[in-house]
C-alpha cells in the first residue's frame, strides 16, 4: 500500500517496462540516489551482450549509468559501489572496464563473490547528487 508520508520516490526508465519483481531500478531520497543491482541484460530486449566478463561488465555499467542519468546523476556523483562477481578471478578484467566509467577519486567499493543466475556480474551503487 502506498505511503503518503514517504519522502523518497522511485526512478523508472522511460519507455521501458517496470521491473517484474517488487523493486524500483533506483530510488531518490533527498540528495541521494540508490541504484538497485543492475545486470548486464539489455533493458529493452533482455538479451546478454555475450558471456565474457568484459562485455558483461561494460553492459552492466552502461545500465548503471543510464539509471543514474534518469535520476539526475552521473557516475561522477557515485560515492559507493557494490560489485557481485560469479568468479572472483574476473576481478582484474572487471577493473579494466570499471576505469572506463569511473575516474579518480574513485567511489568506495565492495566486491562480493556470489552465485548469479546466468550472468557473471551485477552492480549496485549510491550517488550523492544534490539539487535535483
pLDDT digits (tens, 9 = 90+) for 15-50: 766 887 899 999 999 999 999 999 999 988 889 999
Q: What is the mean pLDDT of residues 67-95?
A: 97
What pTM value is reported for the model? 0.91
3-state secondary structure of 45: coil
Are 93 and 123 spatial neighbours (Cβ–Cβ below 8 Å)? no
CATH ID of 26-128, from 3.30.1330.40, 2.40.10.10, 3.20.20.70, 3.20.20.140: 3.30.1330.40
Cell of 128: 550523492
Taking all residues of the chain, what is their mean pLDDT, rounded to a whole number?
A: 92
Are 15 and 32 spatial neighbours (Cβ–Cβ below 8 Å)? no
CA neighbor of 29 nearest in space, from 72, 84, 69: 72
Amino acid at each position: 500500500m502506498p505511503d503518503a508520508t514517504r519522502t523518497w520516490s522511485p526512478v523508472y526508465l522511460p519507455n521501458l517496462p517496470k521491473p517484474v519483481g517488487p523493486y524500483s531500478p533506483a530510488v531518490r531520497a533527498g540528495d541521494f540516489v540508490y541504484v538497485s543491482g543492475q545486470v548486464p541484460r539489455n533493458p529493452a530486449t533482455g538479451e546478454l551482450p555475450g558471456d565474457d566478463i568484459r562485455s558483461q561488465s561494460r553492459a552492466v555499467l552502461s545500465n548503471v549509468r543510464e539509471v543514474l542519468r534518469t535520476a539526475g546523476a552521473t557516475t561522477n556523483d557515485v560515492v559507493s559501489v557494490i560489485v557481485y562477481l560469479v568468479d572472483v578471478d574476473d576481478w582484474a578484467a572487471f577493473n579494466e572496464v570499471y576505469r572506463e566509467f569511473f575516474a579518480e577519486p574513485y567511489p568506495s567499493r565492495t566486491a562480493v563473490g556470489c552465485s548469479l543466475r546466468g550472468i557473471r556480474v551485477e552492480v549496485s551503487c549510491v550517488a550523492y547528487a544534490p539539487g535535483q
